Amino acid sequence: MSRNLAIVFLLIIIGLHAALGAWFASNTPYRTAGILLSQKRTPAIDIGAPDERQHANYVAHLIKERNFPVFKPKDKNLGETLENHQPPLYYLAAAGWASARGMSDPGSQDFGFWVRSLNVAIGCFGVAGAFFVGWWGFQKFEIAIGMSAFYGFLPMMAAMSGTISNDPLLICLATWCLAFTVYGATEGWTTPVVIGLIIFTGAAMLTKTTAVILLPTIFLSGILSLNRKHGLKCAMIAIIGAIILVSPWWYRNQILYQDPLALKAFKEAFTGTAQKSAFVGPNPDMAAEITYWTQWVGWWTARSFVGAFGYVDIWLNETGRATSNTPNSLYRVVLAVFALGIIGWLVAIWKFEQSARKSTAILFVYGSLILLSFVGFNNTYFQAQGRYLLPAIAPISAAIVIGYLFLLKNKWQIALSVITCLLLGINVYTIGRLPAGFDLRKQPGSSSIKR
């Protein structure tokens, strides 16, 4: 694939991702009450995007009060303030974005659509980041385009780009950080690479605490550099610089919560959510553990990584009937396609050149840390949502794309067509059915944003 053709493809992918994100932003109910059908018709104050209400409240607080909210784990109004422990970068950007249009009321449908549109733009920037991870890490435009297509067309990622949340910014910044990290290990450390890592890593940690996982990844990149001594020096400069950027926020948290990451306060507030113990009992045996990790965490996470909408309440196979017993054949097909790509990648890595092995090691370690963090959290709380694995979308997409290129003997036209057509097809399928799914759950008289 030529460089010019790759750029054309990248621009097309960015445009399609923007269109998908805008569709989800326009068709996902905003601050709309209703019921959760898959949870025994439980009444809910919001059936749209998970935790969006609380994210919007944080943004509105910044606009109106012009200060950062203080998180109170025992607040009686916790349902409205649950995200107040989060680092501030996304909310500052969203507040500025809303203020530019003179908007400050989080209950306004116009406020919802306008602030959602910021994440559409962030998602497009993330698509470009995935491209550079593939290009700089593996020196092949075919891999770069495949990774950007996976990022841009994965239904769950497109849906998240149409919500008010700090997750799309985290995913975007982490992806760009990985791009600079693999560049440093394979091409050499330069001043722009170090500065880029400081900015993107520091910004990621100012977006969500999960981003601290990037720090050991950068250190590994320094170890794997051609000139290890120079690489380690540059990696440490980048790590220290990023920590300096986030340190004022950590200092504030230490003063307020006696914890720089505010994790203790968050866990105190999270005790009222679904717990692992509710699924396995107080004294679980091996069978209960296996069932929990495979049927609950594993199966729910795998399906929702592809796409589960609303409060993980609307699944791809929903046909419009008010039932949660929908078939899972579509998920099985998609996951089988992903699995086949990963199998191909496992075989292909033994034939990689040295630079590709370095990039693979970096992406693998980072992805493994994200997975371990997710498993550790679900060992206490039941949060089997695939969106929590999306910060690892770069290593996941790299494995699948490389696997198919290997299995199809570098016939990139076929390999990329398989991935692109599959994911775009699921998006079309979703677009045709999701509005009806939300309508089933809406409180009578409520409406969605329409643009």
Count the domains in the chain.
1
Instruction: Tell me: pLDDT of 324 over 80.
Output: no
Place of tokens 């206490």: 380
Angle between helices 329-348 and 393-407 (to 10 degrees): 80
Query: Does 228 fall in a domain?
Result: yes
Domain that holds residue 62: 3-34+46-441
CB 201 within 8 A of CB 238: yes
Amino acid letter, residue 31: R
Q: What pLDDT, in 10s, does the model give residues 181-202?
A: 999 999 999 999 999 999 999 9
Q: What pLDDT, in 10s, does the model give residues 96-113?
A: 999 999 999 999 999 999
Place of tokens 């998609």: 334
pLDDT, average across residues 9-37: 96
Query: Does 450 fall in a domain?
Result: no
CB 193 within 8 A of CB 346: no
CB 213 within 8 A of CB 370: yes
Read off φ and ψ for residue 42, nearest 5 degrees: -65, 130
Confidence label for 276 from pLDDT (cuts 50, 70 and 90): confident
pTM (two decimals): 0.94
pLDDT at position 267, please?
A: 82
Query: Does 449 fall in a domain?
Result: no
Query: Does 451 fall in a domain?
Result: no
pLDDT at position 272, please?
A: 66
Place of tokens 């120079």: 230
| Residue 258 DSSP symbol | S
Q: What pLDDT, in 10s, does the model give residues 146-190?
A: 999 999 999 999 999 999 999 999 999 999 999 999 999 999 999
Read off φ and ψ for residue 36, nearest 5 degrees: -105, 105
pLDDT at position 54, please?
A: 95
Q: CA-CA distance, 343 to 306, in Å (whole number)?
A: 18
pLDDT, average across residues 108-134: 97
Query: Does 169 fall in a domain?
Result: yes
Query: Does 448 fall in a domain?
Result: no
pLDDT at position 200, please?
A: 98
Average confidence score pLDDT of the chain = 92
Query: Does 285 fall in a domain?
Result: yes
